[in-house]
Structure 1
Amino acid sequence: MNPWVRRLFPPLGDLELGGKPVPLPITVVVLTRDEERCIARCLDSVIGRGVDRVIVIDTGSADRTMSIVDGYRRHGVESVQVPWPGSFAELRNYAIDVVKTGWIVFLDADEWLAEESADQLVDCLESLSTVQCPERLAFAPIIHHPDSGLSVIELPRIFRADSGIRYRGAIHEHPVLPGTTQPPDLVGLDIWFHHDGYLPEVAIAKKKMDRNLSLLSTARDEDPDNPRWLYFLVKDGLPTLTRAQLIDVCTELRVLAERDTPTGDRRTAGEYYRLALCEACQGLAVAGDWHTVHRYSEEMDEPDAHYYRSMAALLTGVSDEGDLLEAIRLRREEKWVSTSALDRSGRHLDALIIALLARFRGGSTAEGYRELCQPWTDVFFEDSWVRTYFWAARGVRPSVQLSH
């Protein structure tokens, strides 16, 4: 197996390699608009690393982004300025047409290549030139969020520009095979991107939620029966949705899941439904609708189902030590933790265990466990009873509340 291939995502079962590696042109594409905060960091991570081209495609920056980019021309960085087309899919497809041939690597302006991966990227892609049927493949780096410690491993960012692969969707765009609505086969690579564009202060400053919701409306207009847009409506718009709206969206998604409505990507309608339930339950908890949270938890996958069931039980006073023992069992099993829709590092389970320990074993035991855990922040539960339960058990209320 290729040393950089980390995972083959179903339905891909094997990766055929053969022949002598052939160097192909490698182009890194960076899409920008008002990215003066981070564009230099992004470009610094790729220049001088052996890639053939670095192209910045800007859609109307009004800050210092382009003047910073101009300073990199001596390093061979190219730039193209185009009007914002109103769709990230259209913008990425434009970039593919600009590149034309060889490998295209999409690196967002608020991302940067990890040092070791930057040095390995050229060798990695040259080794992948021996892959059979490359026109059907897309490659996903590990996109790591240093602020949260979480990583995204299923987001295609690298493929052959001449494969015919194109993007669909105004926001949360996804690649499809030429002439179809089917996704390419996906290969996970041990190449690391870092990303900090969703730090709260960055997202607020760039008004990302407003932007995403507007583009989601466009995506739904163009593809009204696609379950993925309803899921992202819940995920991106959770703070804006009422209890009734959350339930309505989940009900609509359930219908689409029962019909097994195509999504155009690797997830099924049923998977999007279960993911949306996990997101929606955060808003429902804020609204105090723990009855619906408990009902929805019965349709989720573990470990999130147990997380929500146990939280509901804590709040209604019907939890027992079995909830604690099951939470500990799930926390120990990497196969369960790694599939969580809420936190694949299991920190939400740690918070649950802390609350249950405080309930059944006392504050000192809970404190001992808490000291072993990494924090996990979630604004939707910031002031909830579960968050403060541990402290209440100790008879204190800290100036900074315990967070997952």
Structure 2
Amino acid sequence: MMKYDNDAKEKFFTNLKLYSSNITEKIESLRSHSIEPSQLKQFSLSVIVICKDEERCIERCLNAINRNIGVNDEVIIIDTGSTDHTLNILNKYRAQSNFFIFEKEWNNDFAEIRNFGIHKASKDWIVFIDADETVENDSFANLKSHLSIIDLLNVEAVCCPAIVNTGGHVVQTVRRIIPNCQSIFYFGAVHEEPRPDDHSELFYLAFEDIVFHHDGYVEAVSTSKEKQKRNMALLYPMIDKEPLSPRWHYLLCRDGKGALNEDFYRDTLLKVITLCGDDELNKEYKVRAVSDLIEFYLGAGDIDQAANNLEMLKELAPHMTDTLYWDILVQVIIFEYNYHQFIQRIIDYKKTHKELDYGSLNSNGFHLDHLLSRLFFNIREYGSSFAILKKLENAQYGEYKAQYEELHKTLKNFLQAGEGNEK
């Protein structure tokens, strides 16, 4: 009986997190067929690292790569004009036969540098790793296993690793792994993406067991490299080149958030939605733009517009965590607005009713004061809340300190734990 090698196939489908909709039929066909061992090819990797002034992290990056590459793989390092100690660190690796170091002038174009690396690569597949990233152990072995399965799909495909940013946020749509076919090259001065020379469809697959850890967007690092200013300067020319592409407009809003004029930011996000239309391939940008508009309108105090965009987001991505988040947050903000209205009603009543219409609860209106205290507490105006409670206790209307002892204990433990972490 012929033995079928389905271990690689099972591993492939277990770790396949995302794939482009235009490849669904081939994926499902592969899922339903057994695979013979003779069908599986072995592939080699050209790992390319681009760096400039990366003395902080380049050695960490290269050591992680070195631990994971195979004997048939190669590492290509391209320095684009370092003035710190990066080149001195790179010199340590020149003696290794599978490490190749090049120096290339930086012309404000990330795609140009990546394509320079592609032309230098000699192995079957190309993997781009940024200098501020480290590859997790076994990632390359996992990749090679998956590539043997991808080969059976008989399509021009690229792969996306799981890029884990500081804080745990994972990005799985960055196309960093491409076949060395010399017909797929990168396009874009920044946030560049691989595109086939013949403009044909490019399929992508994302795997959760190919992991790169990234710390380049830690605030101190990002600020020191002026990444926001750099990215914005490189994105404007991309919009000029492809004015109808929602990608560049959205990325300008994302990278320029907080620096762009508010009206321009809002109008550009609206343009992204229009440019995307109903194109499934651009849905990612439409979803992000709608989500960002909800945040923008909430910040501007325009609840109605936020709610309108929320309804659009529910249609586009009903099961996305962001949709649930905005849905509940909009309701919370409406509740808080109502709290302010309730507070004002009580204050206005007390001002206009100097002689209170006695009720059965309390002839002095202390029950209204108690309610006012609760409302202030719910909108985090704690000083006003506890000032009222102190007045009520002095008037012997209730005992409130006992109610807040547990809160005091919890806050004290929380603050002391924070102080311990700082030490």
Q: TM-score scaled by structure 1? A: 0.71
Cα shift at 1:90: 2.0
Q: 1:40 to 1:168 in 2, by over 3 A?
A: same
Number of corresponding residues: 328
Q: CA deviation at 1:230?
A: 1.4
Deviation at 1:35?
1.0
Match of 1:312 among 324, 327, 330: 330
CA distance in 2, matches of 1:279, 1:391: 33
- How many angstroms apart in 2 are the aligned matches of 1:209 and 1:82? 23
Structure 2 CA distance for partners of 1:123 and 1:54, relative to 1, 3 Å: same
Aligned to 1:72: 93
* 1:136 CA displacement: 0.5
Q: Name the aligned partner's letter for residue 161 of structure 2.
A: P
The superposition leaves residues 315-353 of structure 1 with CA deviations (integer Å, 9 ceiling, x where unpaired) of 343789xxxxxxxxxxxxxxxxxxxxxxxxxxxxxxxxx
Aligned to 2:289: 276
After the TM superposition, which residues 61-100 of structure 1 pair with which residues of structure 2 at under 5 Å, given as runs? Answer: 61-76=82-97, 77-100=99-122
C-alpha distance in structure 2 between counterparts of 1:253 and 1:2, whole Å: 39
Do the aligned residues in 1 keep the contact of 2:74 with 2:123 (CA within 8 Å)? no
Counterpart CA distance in 2 for 1:271 and 1:143 is 17
Alignment match, 1:192: 211
- 1:182 deviates by 3.1
Deviations 1:19-62 (A, max 9, x none): 34444332110011111111011001011434321111111112
Contact kept, 8 Å, 1:39 with 1:109, in 2: the verdict is yes
Asked whether the equivalents of residues 284 and 293 of structure 1 are also in contact (C-alpha less than 8 Å), the reply is yes
AA in 2 matched with 1:274: V
Q: Which has the larger radius of gyration?
A: 2
- 1:189 offset after TM fit, Å? 5.2
Matched residue, 1:332: none
2:11 is the counterpart of 1:3: yes
1:56 to 41, 60, 77: 77
Q: Distance in 2 between matches of 1:57 and 1:205?
A: 21
Aligned pairs (5 A) from 1:115-154 = 115-117=137-139, 121-122=140-141, 124-125=143-144, 128-129=147-148, 131-132=151-152, 136-145=156-165, 147-154=166-173
Q: Closer, same or farther in 2 for the Cα pair 1:298/1:124, shift >3 Å?
A: closer
Cα distance in 2 for residues equivalent to 1:134 and 1:170: 30
The answer as to whether partners of 1:140 and 1:155 remain within 8 angstroms in 2 is yes
Partner residue in 1 for 2:300: 287
Letter paired with 1:44: N
Alpha-carbon offset, residue 197 of structure 1: 0.8
In structure 2, relative to structure 1, the CA distance for the partners of 1:187 and 1:294 (3 Å cut) is closer
Give CA-to-partner distance per residue, 1:251-295, whole Å, 9 cap, x none.
32232233x46xxxx732x44122112124334433333343223
- Equivalent position to 1:208, from 227, 237, 245: 227
The letter of the residue matching 1:252 is: K
How far apart are the structure 1 equivalents of 2:69 and 2:262? 52
Specify the SS of the correspondent of 1:298.
helix
Q: Cα distance 1:100–1:238, how it changes in 2: closer, same or farther (>3 A)?
A: same
SS of the aligned residue for 1:46 comes to helix
**Deviations 1:103-144, CA, capped at 9 Å, x for gaps:** 211111111111243xxx246416623523556011222111
Structure showing the higher helix proportion among its residues:
2
- CA–CA separation in structure 2 for the residues paired with 1:48 and 1:11: 35
**In 1: Cα distance, 2:185 partner to 2:42 partner:** 23
In structure 1, the residue matched to 2:389 is none
Deviation per CA, 1:171-222, whole angstroms, max 9, x where unpaired? 2111223310633332535221111111111111111111111111121111
The structural deviation recorded for 1:154 is 2.3
| Structure 2 residue ranges without an equivalent (≥5) | 1-8, 339-373, 386-403, 416-423
| Cα distance in 2 between the residues matched to 1:391 and 1:272 | 43
Specify the alignment match of 2:256 in structure 1: 237
Question: What is the distance in 1 between the residues matched to 2:136 and 2:11?
Answer: 17
| Cα separation, 2, equivalents of 1:38 and 1:202 | 11
TM-score by length of 2: 0.68
Inter-partner Cα distance in structure 2 for 1:392 and 1:234: 39
* Residue 161 of structure 1, CA deviation: 1.0
